[in-house]
Chain A
Amino acid sequence: MTVKGTVFRYKSDVDTDVIIPARYLNTTSEQELASHCMEDIDKDFVKKVKKGDIIVAEDNFGCGSSREHAPIAIKASGISLVIANSFARIFYRNSINIGLPILECPEAVKNIKAGDVVSCDLAKGEIVNETTGQTFKAEPFPAFIQNIIDKGGLLKSIQG
């Protein structure tokens, strides 16, 4: 699957409290969660984000709480892919489990700016900065994890 969109750029240690503040955790509605996504770090995110857009961040993206509401809000806001130098481990698991594509690729993070248009072949981990023409290769997932993604998430994968 190939995704393509405009880049929102963030720094290190973007925590789950700014991705989706706890004051909105009294709902499980994906659209309601999406309407507050990134609210405490980027008030304009919700207004600007379009289906397919991509988040690029530095280290330890998604640190903090285990709230699955964070990747759910990002996915439901239309984001098709998050690229970072590294992810906090619970966010990493949650993203795989719910089917939000994420890739670790420091080279891409170094060379992609806010507003660039980026495309990515998710299965191959090939990232193209369409604005500059540069290409990057992300580490593929281990087969075990790729199987979860291919089956459409953890629950479908364990149903056999």
Chain B
Amino acid sequence: MGMTMSQKILAAHAGLESVKAGQLINAQLDMVLGNDITSPVAVKEFEKANFPCVKCPERVSMVMDHFTPNKDIKAAEQVKTVRNFAHKYGVENFFDVGEMGIEHALLPEKGLVGAGDLVIGADSHTCTYGALGAFSTGVGSTDMAAGMMSNQCWFKVPAAIKFVLKNKPAKYICGKDIILHIIGLIGVDGALYKSMEFVGDGVQYLSIDDRFTICNMAIEAGAKNGIFPVDDVTREYLNGRFRREIRVYEADPDAEYERTIEVDLSALKPTVAFPHLPENTRTPEAWGEVKIDQVVIGSCTNGHISDLRIAADILRGKHVAKGVRCIVIPATNTIWKQAMHEGLFDVFIDAGAVVSTPTCGPCLGGHMGILAAGERAVATTNRNFVGRMGHVDSEVYLASPYVAAASAVAGKLATPSDIQ
């Protein structure tokens, strides 16, 4: 029996010729990631276990992005704990304010992760790097501590679902609509414990940022990982950036997939996930009148330069509706600078939006845009659980940057066509 892309990467890192779904393996890691929320727990466990050293410090990254710039004293203490640990154990890929960005945009940008890698991260959205042809998955802090000590992790080899993406995406359709559509189709546990492998002629039309968005939200369908094949788009992104050799793993022709789902990208409509689950997706005819108080454009899902360009195209020459707060958060400093040089900040500020320093901030109800009781936000983020962005009685609508920007102008959930 042949192997999927995901299974081939696992087999190679476990030193095995082949693996099959359900098999338990130990595999070598190319990168172990933690952030300012999960690393402190890992550090505590690492020190409690009296581990002598971090086995491969160059294969550890610690990104202070969730509550930074430190939102309060406790957050500052947590970052200090991680900073001291990184210094003591020689972890050079420690990124604090000034060097940091949202982890899942930062690691690819710095060439720390790439094609063929096996990556674990103490952050559920670690699955993002599948966009580059890596096997990449979220774990907890204890797994992170074990990964730092041993440079290994145990895995149960996942079965897979194949998504055949067909045709060119329709106008105003981007990676976010594609993944929301898929989650709506299969549900928040539709890919539980499984790989989501994205193939088909539609892949060629998807930018690397679209692919990041799609793999980023694989976890919202319960998946272990999401992955794209390596093509010219991937190589163009990795060349001159990725610090290791590109390793390409293609699925065998007889690889076993539990399901195959075809998605016609040309037929998709702007898709929004209504509260309080990412699977509650609706297309415009079912939106009704949803008045909003806030718009957030950013996060590990949609804080890339192409997302900011989309938002700026919609907001150019227009103004955010009275009573709506529009917060734009470039995911990294490099993206921030690029957006500034392209004049996107002029567009945002003239439109009445604000531009924040890179941070996960409001996505998880941390800071920089918390909702009060009864308030509603349209956000390009990834989760709309109860209380996710603030008060337990607030609501989050997950959308693409097209819809988020158009909604900011309309003061209610809207498509770009609605505001023209």
List the interface of chain A (C-beta within 8 A of B).
Answer: 13, 15, 17-18, 21-23, 25-28, 40-41, 59-60, 63-69, 71-72, 86, 88-90, 93-94, 97-98, 142, 144-145, 153-156, 158-159
Query: Given A13-B188, A17-B364, A88-B189, are A144 and B387 also a contact pair (CB < 8 Å)?
Result: no
Query: Given A40-B387, A142-B24, A155-B146, are A28 and B41 also a contact pair (CB < 8 Å)?
Result: yes
Among residues of B, the one whose C-beta sits closest to the C-beta of A70 is B140
- Kindly list chain B residues whose C-beta atoms are within 8 Å of the C-beta of A98: 140, 142
For the A-B complex with A21-B365, A27-B74 known, give 14 more contacts whose Cβ atoms are closer than 8 Å: A13-B188, A17-B388, A18-B386, A25-B67, A28-B40, A40-B386, A40-B392, A63-B188, A66-B38, A71-B140, A90-B138, A93-B140, A155-B49, A158-B150
- Kindly list chain B residues whose C-beta atoms are within 8 Å of the C-beta of A41: 386
- Kindly list chain B residues whose C-beta atoms are within 8 Å of the C-beta of A63: 188-189, 222
B355 within 8 A of A: no
B344 within 8 A of A: no
B204 within 8 A of A: no
Does the CB pair B45–A155 fall under 8 Å? yes
Query: Given A40-B386, A89-B224, A94-B142, are A66 and B123 also a contact pair (CB < 8 Å)?
Result: yes
Query: Given A40-B386, A59-B189, are A159 and B75 also a contact pair (CB < 8 Å)?
Result: no
- Kindly list chain A residues whose C-beta atoms are within 8 Å of the C-beta of B72: 26
B368 within 8 A of A: no
Query: Of B123, B154, B192, which contacts A89 at CB under 8 A?
Result: B192
Does the CB pair A17–B386 fall under 8 Å? yes
B91 within 8 A of A: no
Does the CB pair A155–B142 fall under 8 Å? yes
Using an 8 Å CB-CB cutoff, how does the interface string of B350-392 with A read, 1 for contact, 0 for none? 0000000000000011100000000000000001011110001
Interface residues in B381-405 (C-beta closer than 8 Å to A): 383, 385-388, 392
Does the CB pair B142–A60 fall under 8 Å? no
Among residues of A, the one whose C-beta sits closest to the C-beta of B360 is A22
- Kindly list chain B residues whose C-beta atoms are within 8 Å of the C-beta of A67: 37-38, 140
Among residues of A, the one whose C-beta sits closest to the C-beta of B37 is A25
Does the CB pair B192–A65 fall under 8 Å? no
Among residues of B, the one whose C-beta sits closest to the C-beta of A92 is B193
List the interface of chain B (C-beta within 8 A of A).
Answer: 24, 37-38, 40-41, 44-46, 48-49, 66-67, 71-72, 74-75, 78, 121-124, 126, 138-143, 145-146, 149-150, 154, 188-189, 192-193, 219, 222, 224, 277, 364-366, 383, 385-388, 392
- Kindly list chain B residues whose C-beta atoms are within 8 Å of the C-beta of A90: 124, 138-140, 219
Query: Of A23, A66, A88, which contacts B222 at CB under 8 A?
Result: A88
Query: Of B49, B141, B365, B383, which contacts A68 at CB under 8 A?
Result: B141
Cα A159 to Cα B391 in complex, Å, equals 43
Does the CB pair B146–A154 fall under 8 Å? yes
What is the distance, in angstroms, from B369's C-beta to the closest C-beta of chain A?
Answer: 13
Cα A156 to Cα B121 in complex, Å, equals 20
Instruction: Please list 23 pairs of residues, one from A and one from B, whose beta carbons are closer than 8 Å in the complex, sorted by A's number.
Output: A13-B188, A18-B386, A22-B37, A22-B366, A26-B75, A27-B74, A27-B78, A40-B387, A40-B392, A60-B189, A60-B222, A66-B126, A86-B189, A86-B192, A89-B193, A90-B140, A94-B141, A94-B142, A97-B142, A97-B146, A98-B142, A155-B48, A156-B49
What is the distance, in angstroms, from A14's C-beta to the closest C-beta of chain B?
Answer: 10
Does the CB pair B140–A159 fall under 8 Å? no
- Kindly list chain B residues whose C-beta atoms are within 8 Å of the C-beta of A71: 140
Does the CB pair A60–B192 fall under 8 Å? yes
What is the distance, in angstroms, from B187's C-beta to the closest C-beta of chain A?
Answer: 9
- Kindly list chain A residues whose C-beta atoms are within 8 Å of the C-beta of B149: 155, 158
Among residues of A, the one whose C-beta sits closest to the C-beta of B48 is A155
Cα A59 to Cα B279 in complex, Å, equals 14
Among residues of A, the one whose C-beta sits closest to the C-beta of B224 is A89
Query: Given A13-B277, A17-B364, A17-B386, are A88 and B141 also a contact pair (CB < 8 Å)?
Result: no
Cα A41 to Cα B276 in complex, Å, equals 12
Does the CB pair A66–B139 fall under 8 Å? yes
B126, B193, B222: residue with the most chain A Cβ atoms closer than 10 Å: B222
Does the CB pair B387–A66 fall under 8 Å? no
Among residues of A, the one whose C-beta sits closest to the C-beta of B363 is A22
What is the distance, in angstroms, from B277's C-beta to the closest C-beta of chain A?
Answer: 6
What is the distance, in angstroms, from B205's C-beta to the closest C-beta of chain A?
Answer: 30
- Kindly list chain B residues whose C-beta atoms are within 8 Å of the C-beta of A155: 45-46, 48-49, 142, 145-146, 149
* Among all A-B residue pairs, the 10 with the closest Cβ atoms: A26-B74, A94-B140, A97-B142, A68-B140, A60-B189, A22-B364, A66-B124, A40-B387, A68-B141, A17-B385
